[in-house]
Amino acid sequence: MDFPRILSGNWDTPDSHRLAVAKSRGVYSQLPRALAMAPNDITQIVKDSGLRGRGGAGFPTGMKWSFVPPAEKRQGKSVYLLCNADESEPGTFKDRYCLWLDPHLLFEGMAIASRALDCHVGYIYIRGEFRYIARRLEEALAEAYAAGLLGKNILGSGHDFDLYVHVGAGAYICGEETALISSLEGEKGQPKLKPPFPAVEGAWRSPTIVNNVETLAVVPWLIQHGAAAYKALGTEKSPGTKLFSVSGHVRRPGVYEIPLGIPMMQFINEYAGGLLPGRTLKAVIPGGSSVPVMTPAEVAICSMDYESINTNAGSYLGSGGMIVMDDTTDLVAALTNLLRFYAHESCGQCTPCREGCGWMHQILCRVRDGEASEVDLGTLRDLADNIHSKTICFFGASAAMPVQSFLTKFRSEFLDRVQRRGVGAA
């Protein structure tokens, strides 16, 4: 398949994180052009390209940018641009590659975005476990500043953009944009009710755009090649390429850039190397641990784009973090593992989530260990249904969806475990 590697094109060049190497690969070539453009024209290209947020929600990026109020309606407030590099969704590890192997592409994307948004200060919020990457980002920032590519009067354009790295300290919830803002402000990383949406009132009560690493890194390519070239890739409603992280029971787990829309089985077999010898497919979580699980029959008819996964499997493309499970997997144990994660990471603000996630985990431990009855499965389902959509942020739904989908699509595994009550774990 022939397609441009928009995000991973520089990854196999040695020292791709150094400014000189990055420049020789064309990074920063679009910055002067973008700085000479009218800000609205940049936003229009992003809108026309159909680029959707790559962090998980898939919200159209250009539309998000256009929510920032115009200067005359901002009462002199600054606009902030935040890069969400808090990559924490289990199964997702693509941003780590972008940050480590091509930091300058991200900086260029952010500088171009800052011009479109009339923004002069940006932060890259990176998870604390990535401190070794944060150090590399700091070095790369120093190089970019020294070359006049960031800071005051970028390349003599009159546009100022200061960019800083802010290091988190271990909290999954900070990947949620309002929690990320709370954390940046020096608070506990707890989400806030929307509206107001961050684009209107975000960090320090100023208009704020939060975009994922991968989303921002696409922007220079859009400036160079235009919206039509991007729309020519992928499908009509899911244009472009996307990075997919694949893990679990495949022969070549890793990060792959593909045009959206290729058949899921083709991706698993040709890119991820297929299953291990002698194994058969049991289940796939397509877009990070929070999205509903898929059965092999669903995998067979789905393609790797937002619409197909939703229409054919009731699941989501999400962050593109695919977890593949073969026939050796104990799905009850797998779900129990995931609920331990959610119980650990709930920020504690909303009662349904704080209490419910722990409770669901406890029930699942008993189901896994053969100590539960069928009534417990009903309680589990009730809990999930009563957490979903009843919390401030999407975390509650993220914990509920795996439970709902595993219980529905793989019911026999759970029934088998409760009916053999007292027999012990399989």
Partner 1 sequence: MSHSATSAASRGPREWSPEQAAEIELILTRYPTKKAAVMPLLWMAQDAWDWIDLDIMRLIGRTLELPPSHVHAVASFYTMFKKAPTNKYFFQVCHTLSCALVGAERILAHLEKRLELDEHGNSKDGLFSVLRVECLASCGSGPMAQMNEHFYERLTPEIIDEVIDALRSGKQLPEPRREADQWIFPVS
Residues 174-193 that bind partner 1 (CB under 8 A): 183-189
Give the residue, chosen from 289, 315, 398, 404, that forms a contact with partner 1 under the rule CB under 8 A: 289
Give the residue, chosen from 55, 61, 87, 141, that forms a contact with partner 1 under the rule CB under 8 A: 87
Contact call for residue 106 and partner 1 (CB under 8 A): no
| Per-position x/- string for 228-257, each x denoting binding to partner 1 as judged by CB under 8 A, each - no binding | -----------------xxxxx--xxxxx-
Sites for partner 1 among residues 16-55 (CB under 8 A):
none
Nearer to partner 1 among residue 62 and residue 177 (C-beta): 177
Sites for partner 1 among residues 390-419 (CB under 8 A):
none
Sites for partner 1 among residues 158-177 (CB under 8 A):
162, 164, 166-172
Backbone φ and ψ of 31, nearest 5°: -65, -50
Nearer to partner 1 among residue 131 and residue 237 (C-beta): 131
Residue 166 beta carbon to partner 1: minimum distance, rounded to whole angstroms:
7
Reading the block at residue 227, the tokens are 């919206």
Sites for partner 1 among residues 195-224 (CB under 8 A):
204
Strand order in the sheet with 162-167: 162-167, 121-126, 80-85, 208-212
Contact call for residue 88 and partner 1 (CB under 8 A): yes
Beta strand ranges found along 262-358 (DSSP E): 281-285, 321-326
Site residue total, partner 1 (CB under 8 A): 71
Contacts 24+ apart (CB under 8 A), 13-18: 16/101, 16/102, 17/100, 17/101, 17/102, 17/103, 17/104, 17/136, 17/140, 18/140, 18/143
Alpha-carbon distance of 399 to 389, in angstroms, equals 11
Residue 53 beta carbon to partner 1: minimum distance, rounded to whole angstroms:
18
Sites for partner 1 among residues 309-338 (CB under 8 A):
321, 323, 325, 329, 334, 337-338
SS3 for 152-166 is CCHHHCCCCEEEEEE
Sites for partner 1 among residues 63-82 (CB under 8 A):
78
Q: How many CB atoms lie within 10 A of CB 70?
A: 8
Contact call for residue 282 and partner 1 (CB under 8 A): no
| Per-position x/- string for 342-381, each x denoting binding to partner 1 as judged by CB under 8 A, each - no binding | -xxxxxx-----x---x-----------------------
Where do we find the tokens 């256009």?
A: 66
CB 285 within 8 A of CB 294: yes
Nearer to partner 1 among residue 149 and residue 213 (C-beta): 213
Alpha-carbon distance of 299 to 216, in angstroms, equals 30
